[in-house]
A and B are shown apart, each in its own frame.
Chain A
Amino acid sequence: MAIEIKMPALSPTMEEGTLAKWLVKEGDVVKSGDILAEIETDKATMEFEAVDEGTVGKLLVAEGTENVKVGTVIATIGGEGEEASAPPPAAKAAEPVAAAAPAVAKPAPAKAAVSAADPEIPAGTPMVSTTVREALRDAMAEEMRKDDRVFVMGEEVAEYQGAYKVTQGLLDEFGGRRVIDTPITEYGFAGIGSGAAMGGLKPIIEFMTFNFAMQAIDHIINSAAKTNYMSGGQMRCPIVFRGPNGAASRVGAQHSQNYAPWYASVPGLVVIAPYDAADAKGLLKAAIRSEDPVVFLENELVYGKSFDVPAMDDFVLPIGKARTVRPGKDVTIVTYSIGVQYSLEAARVLAEEGIDAEVIDLRTLRPLDKAAVLESLSRTNRMVVAEEGWPTCSIASEIIAICMTEGFDDLDAPVLRVCDEDVPLPYAANLEKLALIDASRIVEAVRKVCYR
């Protein structure tokens, strides 16, 4: 059976080219690797080589022919010991596949599995006052005890006990095999972590702060986030990238940034940004168990704050679920991370003015709990989004888009956002204060949407 040799596409955009020169003639015996022809594209002249063995049958397109469409049969090669057969009559340019494909309806995305609600905390469970820092450490330690594949890697995580002391005690308990100090090479160890995850381990990669993850963002996005999809579900990258995110205190522009909107824009990532200690613990445990790459955004300013954490053997929270931290009926404040603190302060002030604000902590930013946002909006009909981060292309922007497209009929006022000022964070104390969100700005925005 003769093999048809077709005009090849030599670049992703090539549609046609010039058959500059034949380097074989009819009757020649060719083997794999022999050069058949030179083909000119608009960018370069390329050699075109045989992959099959056989005898050249007909050369169907003459040397020097221009505008030969990709896919046109240009020659035939007969199989071994076989006479090259006559060409099929009237070889014509193959139809571009895309044009021939029938229009298909856009498929609905696969239904997400219904995610569980927060676990019931059995009556009588003691609550233990725990700092966010300790809660994070406890989450890692519990998962490491259970699963030998889990390890922690990052700068100063072992001997120094963590630059912010989040990994305190882990080296003592788990040893140097599983608690690993790295050099200052974020791109390298994010890649090593991602590779280890692909190979079957469950790394927790600590960035000293997420500002330094910028060195490594290629691996987070191009390596970790896209692998499962690109491999058709074959290859996973179950990794947690964690560390403090957002403004700390007077550390200047290069060390003060909220990356939540950056990561939350990437399909293939899970993005979590807890506020209190119980959420930090329950969600970090869930993140470590997840088969997906998780970006886990902490906040240095709340590391030292104490909150109640239920003393349960295995306190795990569902990813993708917002939490109502304060129920209310007049207005909804949607927020996350340290924004929760300011929003609760604002709600207290508003209560004195007779405005009953509901505060929703998103907790997970991707996938975002739209249902919780829209449900609250359907009751309060007014919304403010509070976010410690820049306003443009923010999580707040996303919430507003959701309300516009899916909650329009429930809105009694435009949704307002309270974000940081749209500037790099300054060092000077007075300017820094001016640049960051606070409770009073949230109060003001709430008054506006309530027309007070």
Chain B
Amino acid sequence: MYIIVEDDPSVADALESLLSGAGLPVRVFASAEELIHSAALTADDTMIVDLGLPGMSGGELVRHLEKAGANPKVIAISGKSSRTIARETEGLSDLKILRKPPSADWLEAITA
């Protein structure tokens, strides 16, 4: 399952179109809190998470999931500067970062 956590509805919808268009199973959440309340992730899942979420940030969500023992594959997306991204993902292992706006095919990047 592909899990999208993104607060901008257009970006979320576009990502969903891209993934579901390729026949992949997708669920969309507008916030970290929404995801935590309604879904449990497993190592088979891929979570695509915006780092700059309102409320609990993307980085905090990843940390929270790690602590809870769920370890999905994580792809972080962000439109911020590389320095800000480095700060926000400090101490997080093993995550792929895609920067907005996309400069390459995101479907390939996500499913790779």
A binds B: no
